[in-house]
Chains A and B, each alone.
Chain A
Amino acid sequence: QSLLTQPASVSGSPGQSITISCTRAGNDVDGFKYVAWYQQYPGKVPKLLSFDVSHRPSGLPNRFSASKSGNTASLTISGLQPDDEANYFCSSYTTFNTVLFGGGTQVTVL
């Protein structure tokens, strides 16, 4: 079984760029081909930010960009805004046809 590890928190000042990592650990090497990212405000439903590693849903600002290298996927938020303060989760689809979520990263705008 695999695990997805995210930092508990990341912070930045308005206008800065921040990057959230999502690192895969475990034996399911091929189970990191499909990675997605979500934004969630407290008490709200998660919102899909990217899928298939780096694709953005239509209408999403290009300030959010995602990528992957080896065992680590990343979400970069450019031009950080106060409204970006939220919890961010990664997910991957495993070769066992299951979905894994990372533990989440709280983004704070200073």
Chain B
Amino acid sequence: QVQLQESGPGVVRPSQTLSLTCRVSGGAISGTSFSWNWIRQSPGKGLEWLGHIAYTGTTGTTSYSPALKSRLNISPDVYYNDRFSLTLKSMSDADTAVYYCARGELAAIGVWGQGIPVSVS
């Protein structure tokens, strides 16, 4: 059974860059028909989709939320086919949230990591 686990810092200073990694247990991220997503949830707020890598076979295509596209990068790990990462530049208070990595198919995000709280302070 596939499981996802986020890792990274819990606190980031304003204007700095956030880097998070998602490790997938039980499968690779390429060679599948799934999308590998980053989603966040600010305190007391709703879900915000950030972006994903979507694979068709071994070819991955990235898509980003228009609101974050200029600051966001999502990429597969160069060495390990069971990991993908998020970098978000110029962090501010508005970026304080729980960040989830998740596996999806089109609109259906079926497998979620436990989430990692990130505070900008």
Q: Contact: A38 with B109, CB < 8 Å?
A: yes
Residues 13-30 of chain A, each 1 if its beta carbon lies under 8 Å from chain B, else 0: 000000000000000000
- B-side interface size class: 20 to 34
Which of A1, A99, A102, A103: most chain B Cβ within 10 A?
A99
Q: Contact: A51 with B46, CB < 8 Å?
A: no
Known pairs A48-B108, A91-B49; list 12 more (Cβ under 8 Å). A36-B107, A38-B109, A45-B112, A45-B115, A46-B47, A46-B109, A51-B106, A89-B46, A96-B63, A98-B65, A103-B46, A104-B47
B104 within 8 Å of A (CB atoms): yes
* Residue positions of B touching A, CB distance < 8 A: 37, 39, 46-49, 51-52, 54, 61, 63-66, 100, 104-110, 112-115
- How many residues of A are in contact with the other chain, CB < 8 A? 25
A64 within 8 Å of B (CB atoms): no
A97 within 8 Å of B (CB atoms): yes
- Residues of B near A65 (CB, < 8 A) are none
| Docked CA distance A92–B4 (Å) | 22
Q: Contact: B110 with A98, CB < 8 Å?
A: no
A59 within 8 Å of B (CB atoms): no
Q: Contact: A97 with B61, CB < 8 Å?
A: yes
- Residues of A near B54 (CB, < 8 A) are 97
Write 21 A-B pairs (CB below 8 A) sorted by A numbering: A34-B106, A34-B108, A35-B107, A36-B109, A45-B100, A45-B113, A52-B108, A57-B110, A91-B49, A91-B107, A91-B109, A97-B61, A98-B51, A98-B63, A98-B65, A99-B37, A101-B39, A101-B46, A101-B48, A103-B46, A104-B46
